[in-house]
Chain A
């Protein structure tokens, strides 16, 4: 197998640009990154089909010999359509979160939801089970013998 270096380079550039925007906080940017990375991935599969050839349509003539590999094409065709579906879903999500949160001019920036958290706050999550355990320990301790009580109960 051989590769066309130009395609590999443009794929790498699309990945780089896609990842760069994907790491932003604006959801639209994330989605644009998703589009770029999606296209880059299609290109990656495309590169795997090797050198160009004739369309994979059987004609019964000599050109069938130079046919391009149809397998990556099949994989990509469904990937393209599903990419579209997912893009629409992400757009719906973006709109929904913007509309629900009444973000207005803020747009679609996602916040660092855990930025304010500390270890102590996280630990609070476990407090309920700790309290449960202290409760049972207290119940057990309550039944233990104490000297003065015994004195009062002597027959």
Chain B
């Protein structure tokens, strides 16, 4: 069974593709799959007849006891035959119903096929959670299928309505499903029913599950979605809303009835709502002009009928219910398909405009007549057999003292009278010849479309006299209720009360049809207070309004307000937790060493000033002071790696700030009112206080020993390195580092994509391609940038940089050029030294990469973007890519040697000059880190440096007048001037 479901899944995925090749013929192809499932289910018949069940089980979530368990017993067997059989026929019908140019045909075919598979899964699943999963999938697919005409308002409205109602029911049911499976201690439906749980929890669980079943099967108060769902294409109505999906609720009730029919509340709910639904549905069906809506309301009515019978809880009623279920699927699906044909040929479903169809399409009319007669319960059709059995079972129940029997009998009998009336009205409406209406023009249609309703009608006819053949199989299922009932399905039971009742019902029904004009007038006078559809509308609008109000309430401000909300919640929650805290550190010292106080004082003052100054650059520098303060703290604390990294990062951060802020106006605009300022200060101080308290508490809350004790041994023995921090980064916790360099790559890509508007510029700006042009004489020439002033460059001056000639003379600084020239190469060498020395001494890939990045920064600041291109004539993306390939390669390579990912291997050797060397794969990993960090720096320089230069110059060239004062005079910081590659404005 799992393999069939898998086939459904695969073929559904392929269907859109196949539709492109086969057009509407694809339906014939995909119909083969439900047909095959039908055939497969038939092969299980001998097992079913013997009273056994076919089971299959694949473990899924053993921790929760949930398995892909399937179990086909007699009930599942019948339902599986119905959903696969009708499914195959409806798919065949689709091939003729749709034209090749139908929009979204592939999608529709895929969903319909997937739906058939899901229904098959639903009825065969034994695990209650798996069953629920299929249950919900049918809701989703039903939404997609009803909304097939995506451009039509009716379609969308109906789809949403059906979806909201059935998923609401589904959610309620989920609670019940969880309750009952916990209470029963098993997720197997068969076991839950075989050994019913009792008690208040079980009672509530069953009632909650009933809510799901009622919503799915469109019983009052959820009935309104089904008529609305008729906005779907007719095959969907025939399959989902007559034969399959709405039967899911019926199926579940039939499944649970043997165990839970005597549970408190079951009978009142099932019988009362069932009768009410049957009467309301039939009542409204009598009022419809739209043939499809006649059937839709009729279906609502019949679902109420079915619900009473399958939920009634006696053996005979269960047998009758199964027969009725099958009969209903056969005639209602056929009738929907026939309405679809009429709609197609006549172009309308409104019977007021139809005339003479019966006379001109006799075959169609005959098929319709058979099905309608079965619906009305006219012998010798199968519908009659089923209805007889129902009446008999209710009479027997009543006679043996079950009061519900008489109530159910009265309700269903009246409902059946109405059914006869609307059945007759349907047939008359569709096929009668109306003298005052001109004969309806009918489009011709190929006979192929009649195959599906034809086969259904044949079954309707044949199963009447042959009901006794079906009886043993259905009896196996009904026998689950052992109450001494022994009824059999047969066309003729002799003269008995039920037969008389049937005769009365038929007669009364035809009288109603004959007197339809006065009935209609009487119906006018009855207020439609039972129309729950309006209740749905106002409920949904009420929810919408509440949602709008809440959204408006909580999302009124901009970014600062959201941030403030988050922080206030933070302060309240953690402040409360801190207030009730009872663990404090053993000892609190004022300072570790006197110097700490001075550093802290500087940092604190810088932080407060950074928050108050109005100049951007000043604020950035002050924030930088806190960073450099950290460097000092780290250095004094025994954290040389941190101090090194923090120092490099802080410098780089300042440069990057300068690069961007040179474009923004120097003053930070003040738009905040003083009141806001007080509030902000309050929130800030509270957050600070809470964080301080938490810091102290966290120190005292520590209970476990630090893992630090073992680390020196691990680092030396396992990691072959003395620097514990670096060994942890590249070996012991290398997975973390892998994640972190991935973040860096994402960030680098993000920066570049924000700056490079028209694609990442593949061209690297070089001074000149040929060696000749790079000769000293050529360096003075101003190159291809038209915005760079040539003035002054004619002055013959020793050039220390390759691209010095691209910069206006007044922006050049010989001091910086000489320094950069002298320091660049040593800096690169030191960075490489840091990379390799990092295993045993402070350093490592992060520090080395940052230093290399800083060296590039220096080149850029001194010589502008061409200098950067000369210094690193490579696309940063390639450096980043190479870095991550090295890192990932190290992780994967160890797998080939039978190790864990990222497990390190070491090669040691004694080399004469360098001494004892140990080279590990973790070093390669560190090289990857180095490259990624350097690539990030280069990417930032290219984006926030070079690209902003270009945008700024082209901006000035276009004269867009962005109002930003340019030129060195406006740059607030010396660092910015060093970076400036622009001409004076």
Contact = CB atoms under 8 A, between A and B. Distances in A.
Nearest to A87: B653
B630 A42 contact: yes
B656 A87 contact: yes
Contact of A64 (B549, B671, B712, B728): B712
B633 A46 contact: yes
Contact of B558 (A25, A29, A132, A139): A25
A15 B687 contact: yes
17 contacts: A1-B700, A13-B607, A15-B692, A18-B607, A23-B683, A82-B743, A85-B744, A88-B656, A91-B659, A107-B668, A110-B559, A115-B558, A129-B160, A132-B157, A134-B537, A137-B157, A143-B350
Nearest to B728: A74
Interface residues of A, number: 126
B556 A115 contact: yes
B922 interface: no
Contacts of A23: 560, 563-564, 567, 680, 683-684
A143 B544 contact: no
Contacts of A24: 560, 672, 680
Contacts of A48: 695, 698-699
A111 B286 CA distance: 60
Contacts of B500: none
Nearest to A100: B757
A102 B665 CA distance: 12
Nearest to B521: A147
Interface string B619-650: 11001001100100110111111100110010
B970 to A, nearest CB: 12
Nearest to B687: A19
A111 B683 contact: no
Given A112-B557, A119-B549, A36 B699 contact: no
B319 interface: no
Interface string B936-955: 10001001100010010000
A42 B688 CA distance: 14
Interface in B428-465: 432, 434-437
B523 interface: yes
Nearest to B748: A85
B905 interface: no
Contacts of A87: 653, 656-657
B399 to A, nearest CB: 39
A34 to B, nearest CB: 9
A29 B156 CA distance: 47
B544 A130 contact: yes
Nearest to B225: A136
B944 A92 contact: yes
B589 A3 contact: yes
Contacts of A82: 740, 743-744, 747
A20 B695 contact: no
B600 A114 contact: no
Interface string B689-722: 1011001101110100011100110011000001
Given A67-B638, A70-B724, A12 B537 contact: no
B687 to A, nearest CB: 5
Given A46-B630, A68-B639, A129-B157, 11 more contacts: A19-B567, A55-B638, A69-B708, A87-B656, A92-B751, A104-B962, A117-B552, A120-B548, A126-B544, A131-B153, A133-B540
Contacts of A129: 156-157, 160, 540, 544
A16 B684 contact: yes
B227 A140 contact: yes
Interface string B230-242: 0100000000000
A105 to B, nearest CB: 5
Nearest to A78: B740
B744 A81 contact: yes
Given A13-B607, A57-B840, A93-B754, A77 B688 contact: no
A117 B556 contact: yes
Contacts of A58: 712, 715-716, 722-724
Interface in A33-49: 33, 35-36, 39-40, 42-44, 46-49
Given A58-B724, A95-B755, A133 B157 contact: yes
A11 B695 contact: yes
Interface stretch (B21-29, B89-97, B249-257, B590-598): B590-598
A2 B556 contact: no
Contacts of B54: none
A13 B608 contact: yes
B589 A80 contact: no
A145 B587 contact: no
A20 B567 CA distance: 11
Nearest to A154: B517
B736 interface: yes
A123 to B, nearest CB: 4
Nearest to B656: A88
Contacts of B272: none
A74 B591 contact: no
A71 B154 CA distance: 63
B610 interface: yes
A44 B688 CA distance: 11
B290 interface: yes
A47 B711 CA distance: 20
Contacts, number: 435
B620 A81 contact: no
A136 B161 contact: yes
Q: Ordered nearest first, which 7 A-B pairs have the shortest CB separation?
A: A16-B688, A12-B692, A132-B157, A20-B684, A135-B153, A104-B963, A112-B558
Contacts of A43: 630, 633
B660 interface: yes
Nearest to A10: B600
Contacts of A20: 611, 680-681, 683-684
Listed residue (A42, A88, A107, A134) with the most chain B CB atoms within 10 angstroms of its CB: A88
Nearest to A111: B558
B157 A134 contact: yes
A7 B604 CA distance: 10
B922 to A, nearest CB: 14
B103 interface: no
Which of A22, A92, A151 lies at the interface centre, i.e. has the most chain B CB atoms within 10 A of its CB?
Answer: A92
B512 to A, nearest CB: 14
B345 interface: no
- Residue of B520, B549, B564, B623 contacting most chain A CB atoms (<10 Å): B623
B725 interface: yes
A78 to B, nearest CB: 4
Interface string A52-90: 111111110000100111110110111011111111110
Contacts of B541: 130
Contact of B630 (A39, A78, A89): A39
A130 to B, nearest CB: 6
B585 A136 contact: no
B736 A78 contact: yes
B548 A123 contact: yes
Nearest to B661: A28
Which interface residue of B603, B691, B712, B944 has the most chain A CB atoms within 10 A?
B691
Contacts of A107: 664-665, 667-669
B663 interface: yes
A35 B627 contact: yes
B300 to A, nearest CB: 12
B555 interface: yes
Contact of B547 (A16, A21, A126): A126
B352 interface: yes
Interface string B570-590: 000000000000000111111
B234 to A, nearest CB: 15
B761 to A, nearest CB: 15
A123 B681 CA distance: 35
B557 A56 contact: no
A32 B620 contact: yes
Nearest to A79: B740
B607 A7 contact: no
A143 B231 CA distance: 13
Contacts of A50: 699
